[in-house]
Structure 1
């Protein structure tokens, strides 16, 4: 009977291991899908945040992009 008990115990360990492997396989794909969605969402958010909608365009007034003080003469000349 001791031999049968050892075989039964070994079968139970195998079944427990198979359940864990099955659970890991079942949870793998949803984890990959959620991770991909989060990564794409973060990438889109980062790109949209950096592209500020024209905030960094050069102004149209001449000399406004130059460093220092821009002086104009009286009379518009």
Structure 2
């Protein structure tokens, strides 16, 4: 596999996704606003939410996949809308 961006991912209570980057940065992303979107509906299931894994580039919850770029974009949108 090529370049890695993510070192770890942890699905926290209240649908907060913790993402650790190779840079040492940690992102806490509130996923609650996305749970009503068709693509993210499966994440509302506690078993699916708890299944989060990373291969260093993507975060996967079963069939739901997010790239590191998408995670950063979601975090940026969350930050600019508050």
| Alignment TM class, shorter chain as reference | under 0.3
What TM-score, normalized by structure 2, do the two folds share? 0.23
The answer to which structure has the higher strand fraction is 2
- TM-score (norm: length of structure 1): 0.24
